[in-house]
Structure 1
């Protein structure tokens, strides 16, 4: 189950308490029903921060009941920080991170709202199982997480576009379909969908080419084009804008990341699905000049000639 608040947000709240007394930290947690910890993590920071982390380690972050109680602890920690230091950069960072998790931090230190799936992984490890070497995907996911961590929507948007591009290249390489570095994102997306037999134009009566799926796939394809355009126009990193990015915020980053997730998840899921339509197409031999031609299913691990991930 997804965590109701991300690790990065928990760490940011924890770092607020270096101005809170040891006694107050015990009180805020024990009033919420947690017992005094008997073990403490190493390498966290000072005594107060370490104590707060020890309490954090007791929480089941998938439990709505527990987070309801921990929310009050967080509000207490934020209130104490504001009393001692005012609304400083650390409190502002907590507000940004809570927003990514689906909450709002009001000016009085109250946490409101319900969790979303923003803390969930952009691409799960199970969906990467069909790739021989998904390291580049992990790199992009780390950049997206780091951008969200520091409240950098431009980086999140740029990395989301790069995630789609790298996913397309890795899938093409896995399927032994050639591509070049001159291919732009729309061209790569088209090649992937052709190779996996999931083009919106394909019709064979199966679920993958039903009218409803065709419309969804058409929308998903358009999303990748829009993501590329959004980033290339200077709203994401990778192309320097000619003017400040006015109005760009976390909601735009979430839109871009979720758009990338939609296309990447379906493509990777199709790659690993043993009943996916591309496997039937690859398994059916064709002839040219009397020689049998075998599809990409015959050599999934082989890199494409001239292709680069």
Structure 2
């Protein structure tokens, strides 16, 4: 499973088309190379020489990496600088529909509710998972919910923790009943298997009293999310309590992200103590 692209295909095709009309091979090379990209040299099915050359640079873009994507946006901005005003008007409208703003200076930025800001907060360790679909779905629901629907954000934050715990157990080949397993048990099992439970004995800093104290708080964070939702503050209840504000949604999402980040980073770390204790060779 691959993390989905942060730049829609229509946007890529749009700027590839623009390159054929408003640039040259020399300029195309310059704008991409200025951002650290090189052409792949691989053949493609583009009929225009300039489009084909542009495509070769696209081949070396990781469209799931926010850092790469931000550099690509700078390439697009350079191309926009060469466009006449009437062409910029249509491009601005097109990008608006695709979730991006283009200001009067031609600078491109993702809208606040687009995929890019949310993806920038996704743990990079997601790329090491065989199937991160459940986790990605939770991030998408969170992204849609904030800041307008804090109850949905709280519910989705709880689901993010649950999805992460289940995914980790599946990655480790540990069986569990997905229908009957409760969140506290999933959290406890995932942290124990990764050597992240406060009672776990581990070498180095992982076994220090300070880290154990933090891990105890980490467990409390994850459990608190489930309790917050079950008390009626999240989605899934007939009547929502009054007084819920966006800050409560951000609190829940931030807590969930912290837990997931630590869990997934530890799962992906080839030198994490849990690997030696479980007799697992680094992947």
Fold conserved between structures, TM > 0.5: yes
2:166 corresponds, among 162, 166, 169, to 169
Measure how far apart 1:123 and its partner are. Answer: 4.6
1:144 corresponds, among 142, 145, 151, to 142
- Give the aligned CA root-mean-square deviation in angstroms: 3.5
Write out aligned runs for 1:1-309 (5 A). 38=84, 39-40=87-88, 45=93, 53-55=101-103, 58-59=106-107, 119=117, 121=119, 123-124=121-122, 126-148=124-146, 151-180=148-177, 181-237=179-235, 239-241=236-238, 243-283=239-279
CA distance in 2 between counterparts of 1:132 and 1:175 reads: 11
- In structure 2, runs of 5+ residues without a counterpart are 1-80
- In structure 1, runs of 5+ residues without a counterpart are 1-34, 63-93, 101-118, 284-294, 301-309
CA distance in 2 between counterparts of 1:56 and 1:279 reads: 53
CA distance in 1 between counterparts of 2:131 and 2:190 reads: 17
CA distance in 1 between counterparts of 2:268 and 2:153 reads: 27
CA distance in 1 between counterparts of 2:109 and 2:143 reads: 18
- Aligned length in residues: 198
Deviations 1:219-248 (A, max 9, x none): 0101111100001111111x214x442110
| Partner in structure 2 of residue 12 of structure 1 | none
Measure how far apart 1:121 and its partner are. Answer: 3.9
Q: Name the CA shift for 1:279/1:205 in 2 (closer, same or farther; >3 Å).
A: closer
CA distance in 1 between counterparts of 2:154 and 2:91 reads: 33
Q: Name the CA shift for 1:156/1:57 in 2 (closer, same or farther; >3 Å).
A: farther
Secondary structure in structure 2 of the residue aligned to 1:124: coil
- Is the Cα contact below 8 Å between 2:146 and 2:250 reproduced in 1? no
Q: Name the CA shift for 1:56/1:130 in 2 (closer, same or farther; >3 Å).
A: farther
CA distance in 1 between counterparts of 2:176 and 2:104 reads: 48
Secondary structure in structure 2 of the residue aligned to 1:251: helix
CA distance in 2 between counterparts of 1:245 and 1:56 reads: 43
TM-score, structure 1 normalization: 0.56
- Is the Cα contact below 8 Å between 1:164 and 1:263 reproduced in 2? yes
Q: Name the CA shift for 1:203/1:247 in 2 (closer, same or farther; >3 Å).
A: same
Deviations 1:142-194 (A, max 9, x none): 11101116x01111110000000010000000001111121111100110011
| Partner in structure 1 of residue 72 of structure 2 | none
Q: Name the CA shift for 1:170/1:204 in 2 (closer, same or farther; >3 Å).
A: closer
CA distance in 1 between counterparts of 2:203 and 2:173 reads: 27
Measure how far apart 1:44 and its partner are. Answer: 6.5
